[in-house]
């Protein structure tokens, strides 16, 4: 009898010691991880003190850490399983359009190799993957033809595999690429018909994938798409007029406004459809992803400060104000007058708060200089189409430092759009293709500085719920072809071999640390359990 009491006491004590031991072990591991990160390879290059200064900040447990990609830049398989040509397939085929004469016919062959790429993501520890669907794979002839079940089956398999890996798909309906059929038939974004096509496409995607996809964005960077497609003519459909570019046809003043208007109407149609037919049952969120530039006034003068506001109006709020407030920004209305298309009463019905979140692609900042009240050097921008602002990266020969812009941009969106949910849907660093470049400490420095700025914005109250690194892999960088590399994994384009760079280990470690420090993690639970036991 006595013996068993002694045993019980011993057992109780030993489990007490065990719990204390586990707690200490946990503490030691977390400390070692932090210490090891501060004495690693990149120590010479980045100020990890800065990272540690932010350590009191804990990302919420369900914060999305991911990597981002797009169909044309990654998939390849350009005519596989029933897909037909997209506008980018056709555009890259025109000689002289792409820096190295390349195309996305094979790209990084993600169409066939995505299972291996998901393994890489799993190894990084990301919990989300931002990808886009190829419209031409799902509807090769738009609404004028059948749904291509080859495309639907592929994305069904892929979405299931993403989820099986424990990763949340964050899906963009169109990331610059559309079926070429729509260009040939009616001039795509210049024609209001595109809205019907986009709605039809969105309906098919929500119907086939919406039971599993909980994050939708309608467009990726429509501002870039219209500025480069219809003002400078450097992206398809290569339309522009002088002095903005050298195209065989187009009107750089009017067409970007028309294309943007049709994109906004298409976004509204898709959101309205999702909200009325799918959202309640599928319980997802829908938003739009914008390219953002932080415009810093080049001087303290009122003129330059107003110029910075105009720059945002002509770049970002051009798209966001209509879908949140139902009208174009004041600065645009004042300068463009009747050139700006109007919303009808019908359009406006669905146009208030037609966003659950804004996706912020943030890479860069510019100085904004007034060209409305001041004289700007000719040929340096600052036209009426750009809101009479000259935007430049340099001031007195010096570059605007990094990461100026991330915190400011997130706070700007938070204030203007009343604390709307934000996701940083892209941020990353491109390097010229000069060798293998596995030691990409500049990318590490860039991303860690931007993440610090993101944390500062969250501390100030910005409702940021995710961060996606652009990109997991080197890939097809639009008109730069394969000459610029953005990957945390190097890709040998001839063998398709993927090799991790420094940034891959850094991002993995970053995510691990922030998971370990997040509020309701395993260690803290253990601590609570142990405390309970000791009482």
The residue ranges that bind ligand NOJ (CB under 6 A) are 70, 73, 220-221, 361, 426, 470, 477, 486
Is 175 assigned a ligand-binding role in the annotation? yes
Question: Smallest distance, Å, CB 426 to ligand NOJ?
Answer: 5
Q: Nearest distance from residue 480's CB to ligand NOJ, in Å?
A: 8
DSSP string, 8-29: HHHHHHHHHHHHHHHHHHHHHH
| Minimal distance, residue 482 CB to ligand NOJ, in Å | 12
Distances (CA, A) of 139 to 90, 106, 145, 283: 17, 20, 7, 25
Is 220 flagged in the annotation as binding?
yes
Find out whether 297 and 311 touch, Cβ atoms under 8 Å.
Answer: no
Q: 26 or 451: whose CB is closer to ligand NOJ?
A: 451
Residue pair 513/58 in contact (Cβ under 8 Å)? The answer is no
C-alpha to C-alpha distance for 414 and 409, rounded to whole angstroms: 8
- Compute the least distance from the CB of residue 471 to ligand NOJ, in Å: 7
**How many angstroms separate the Cα of 278 from the Cα of each of 147, 149, 194, 457, 518?**
19, 21, 22, 33, 33
Which residues are CB-contacts of 498 (< 8 A; sequence separation ≥ 6)? Answer: 116, 117, 120, 473, 489, 490, 491
Rank residues 197 and 426 by Cβ distance to ligand NOJ and give the closer one: 426
Burial 69-81 (b: 16+ CB within 10 A, else e): bbbbbbbbbbeee
- Known binding residue 73? Answer is yes
Cα angle 407-411-412, degrees, rounded to a multiple of 5 = 115
Asked if residue 80 lies in contact with residue 62, where contact means CB atoms within 8 angstroms, the answer is no
CB 238 to ligand NOJ: min, Å = 18
Residue 148 parent element (H or E): none
Total residues belonging to the chain: 535
Q: 208: annotated binding-site residue?
A: no
Contact of 58 with 518, CB cutoff 8 Å? yes
Nearer to ligand NOJ, 59 or 189 (CB): 189
Q: With respect to ligand NOJ, which residue has the nearer C-beta, 288 or 336? A: 288
| Residue 221 among known ligand-binding residues | yes
Q: Is 71 or 158 the residue whose CB approaches ligand NOJ more closely?
A: 71
Q: How far is the CB of 236 from ligand NOJ (least distance, A)?
A: 14
93 is an annotated ligand-binding site residue: no
> Dihedral sign, CA of 447, 448, 449, 451?
positive
User: Could you give the CA distance from residue 422 to residue 416 in angstroms, rounded to a whole number?
Assistant: 12
Instruction: Find the Cα–Cα–Cα–Cα dihedral 262, 264, 266, 269, rounded to 10°.
Output: -140
Residue 318 among known ligand-binding residues: no
- Least spacing, CB of residue 176 vs ligand NOJ, in Å: 7
Longest dimension (CA), the chain: 99
- Is 245 in contact with 234 (CB distance < 8 Å)? yes
Q: 278 vs 318, which CB is nearer to ligand NOJ?
A: 318
Identify the helix (H) or strand (E) that includes residue 247: none
354 in Cβ contact with 342 (< 8 Å): no
Q: Which residues are catalytic?
A: 221, 426
Q: Is 446 annotated as a binding residue?
A: no
Which residue's CB is nearer to ligand NOJ, number 42 or number 486? 486
Q: Which residues participate in the annotated binding site for a beta-D-glucoside?
A: 73, 175, 220-221, 363, 426, 470, 477-478, 486
Annotated binding site: 73, 175, 220-221, 363, 426, 470, 477-478, 486
């Amino acid at each position: 009898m006595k013996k068993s009491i002694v045993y019980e006491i011993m057992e109780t004590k030993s489990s007490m010691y065990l719990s204390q031991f586990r707690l200490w072990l946990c503490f030691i591991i977390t400390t070692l991880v932090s210490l090891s990160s501060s004495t690693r390879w990149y120590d010479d290059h980045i100020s990890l003190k800065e990272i540690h200064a932010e350590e009191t900040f804990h990302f919420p447990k369900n914060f999305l850490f991911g990597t981002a990609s797009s169909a044309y830049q990654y998939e390849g398989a350009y005519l596989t399983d029933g897909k037909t040509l997209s506008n980018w397939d056709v555009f890259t085929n025109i000689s002289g359009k792409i820096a190295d004469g390349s195309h996305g016919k094979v790209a990084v062959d993600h169409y066939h190799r995505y299972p291996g790429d998901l393994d890489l993501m799993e190894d990084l520890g990301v919990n989300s993957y931002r990808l886009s669907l190829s419209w031409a794979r799902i509807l090769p002839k738009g609404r004028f033809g059948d749904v291509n079940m080859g495309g639907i089956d592929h994305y069904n398999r892929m979405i299931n595999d993403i989820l099986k890996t424990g990763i949340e798909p964050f899906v963009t309906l169109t990331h610059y690429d559309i079926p070429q059929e729509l260009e040939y038939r009616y001039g795509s974004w210049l024609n209001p018909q595109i809205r019907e096509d986009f709605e039809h496409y969105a309906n098919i995607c929500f119907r086939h994938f919406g039971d599993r996809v909980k994050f939708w964005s309608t467009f990726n960077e429509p501002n870039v798409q219209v500025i480069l497609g219809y003002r400078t003519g450097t992206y398809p459909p290569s339309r522009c007029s002088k002095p903005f570019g050298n195209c065989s046809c187009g009107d750089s003043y009017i067409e970007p406004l028309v294309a943007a208007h049709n994109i906004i109407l298409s976004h509204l149609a898709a959101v309205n459809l999702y909200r009325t037919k799918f959202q309640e049952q599928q319980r997802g969120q829908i938003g739009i992803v914008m390219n953002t530039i932080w415009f810093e006034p080049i001087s303290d003068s009122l003129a330059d400060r107003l110029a910075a506001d105009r720059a945002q109006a002509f770049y970002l709020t051009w798209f966001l104000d209509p879908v949140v407030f139902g009208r174009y920004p004041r600065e645009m209305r004042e300068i463009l007058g009747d050139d700006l298309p109007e919303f009808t009463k019908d359009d406006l019905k669905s146009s208030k708060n037609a966003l659950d979140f804004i996706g912020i692609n943030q890479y860069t900042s510019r100085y904004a200089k007034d060209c409305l009240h001041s004289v700007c050097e000719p040929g340096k921008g600052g036209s009426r189409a750009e809101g009479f602002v000259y935007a430049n990266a340099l001031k007195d020969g010096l570059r605007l430092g990094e990461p100026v812009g991330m915190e400011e941009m997130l706070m700007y969106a938070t204030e203007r759009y009343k604390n709307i949910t934000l996701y940083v849907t892209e941020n990353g660093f491109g390097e010229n293709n000069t060798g293998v470049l596995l030691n990409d400490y500049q990318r590490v420095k860039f991303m860690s500085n931007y993440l610090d700025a993101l944390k500062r914005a969250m501390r100030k109250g910005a409702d940021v719920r995710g961060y996606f690194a652009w990109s997991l892999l080197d890939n097809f960088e639009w008109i730069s072809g394969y000459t610029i590399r953005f990957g945390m994994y190097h890709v040998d384009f001839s063998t398709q071999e993927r090799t991790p760079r420094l940034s891959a280990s850094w991002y993995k470690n970053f995510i691990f640390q922030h998971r370990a420090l997040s509020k309701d993690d395993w260690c803290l639970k253990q601590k609570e359990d142990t405390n309970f036991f000791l009482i």
